[in-house]
Amino acid sequence: MTRTLDAPTDAARRSDSQQRVHEFATDAITAVRDVLVRHAMTYDEYAAVKQWLIEVGEAGEWPLFLDVWFESTVEQLATAPRLGSKGAILGPYYLPDQVELATPATLPMRHDEAGEPLVITGQVRSTVGTALNDAVVDIWHADAQGLYSGFGLEGPDGTLRGRVRCDEMGRFEVRTVQPAPYEIPQNGPCGSLIAAAGWNAYRPAHLHVVVSAPGHEELTSQLYFAGADHLDDDVASAVKAELVLHPQDSGAGTSVSYDFVLDPLG
Ligand code: MBD
Ligand code: FE
């Protein structure tokens, strides 16, 4: 006799957390089984998918895979109740504990850092309008080749990353260089999937931020550039119209401005 995933006698002895895992895992397994049936998966295809999943792990691409194809859904669920600024996914390339910088700040960069100069200015406020003077804008982005420090960029740790402390009016100014679009590595399993399916492999150029201030919900977001490539076909489905900035030409490069509005805790 085959036993179903949920024999009636099991339900009574499960704790709340077991029940949550049970319901989630049962639905996930059932959803995948339905896909196998709907597409009449062959044994050769099963073997290929199994090998591909093994390679995702061996290549260390589970964070990339999950954040590209699933984090946007979780992010939308998590931030739907918020009244402040729109959030966006954290992605796989956040590194904590970066250098703290006073505003106006210049992100750590190589002496010959490629890319057009870019200045980001703005203010951090609460949803009730108060300037948050003790806010910190943790910012990181790819270089002019689309590479992140710690993940393929050749250069010192901490390049194009920093935690910028705002002034007494919650204002910040960050000098850096324009990032390039990000391409999912072609030589890894996620790149293989994209090529095999004929999908777009790019994310539009973006800046990542985690904005925090005491007594307020932390805001994880991303900022994009109007007119840039791949705003409409982001492989990670993470673009929101509110997060697309309009670059101004300021003579000495490009400048963008964005104010972050944080929800009070509780
Ligand atoms: C990125 O740079 C990124 O921000 C996300 C979410 C996924 C892959 C690469
Ligand atoms: Fe990114």
pLDDT digits (tens, 9 = 90+) for 170-215: 999 999 999 999 999 999 999 999 999 999 999 999 999 999 999 9
The structure tokens listed for 89 are: 């996914």
Q: What is the pLDDT of residue 9?
A: 66
Q: Which ligand has its closest atom nearest to the C-alpha of 235?
A: 1
| ∠ Cα 203 207 210 (to 5°) | 120
Ligand 1 neighbourhood includes 91 CB (under 6 angstroms): yes
Q: What is the pLDDT of residue 11?
A: 75
Beta-strand relationship, 136-141 and 161-165:
antiparallel
Q: Which atom of ligand 1 is nearest to the CA of 91?
A: 6
Q: How far is the CA of 59 from the centre of ligand 1 (A)?
A: 16
Q: What is the pLDDT of residue 10?
A: 74
Q: What is the pLDDT of residue 146?
A: 98
State whether the Cα torsion 153-201-178-245 is positive or negative: negative
Q: How far is the CA of 173 from the centre of ligand 1 (A)?
A: 24
Ligand 1 neighbourhood includes 109 CB (under 6 angstroms): no
Q: What is the pLDDT of residue 90?
A: 98
Three-class DSSP category at 86: coil
Collect the ranges in the chain with pLDDT lower than 70.
1-9
pLDDT digits (tens, 9 = 90+) for 237-258: 999 999 999 999 987 789 999 9
Q: How far is the CA of 3 from the centre of ligand 2 (A)?
A: 44
- Residues of the chain with pLDDT > 90, as a percent, come to 94
Q: What is the pLDDT of residue 251?
A: 78
Q: What is the pLDDT of residue 88?
A: 98
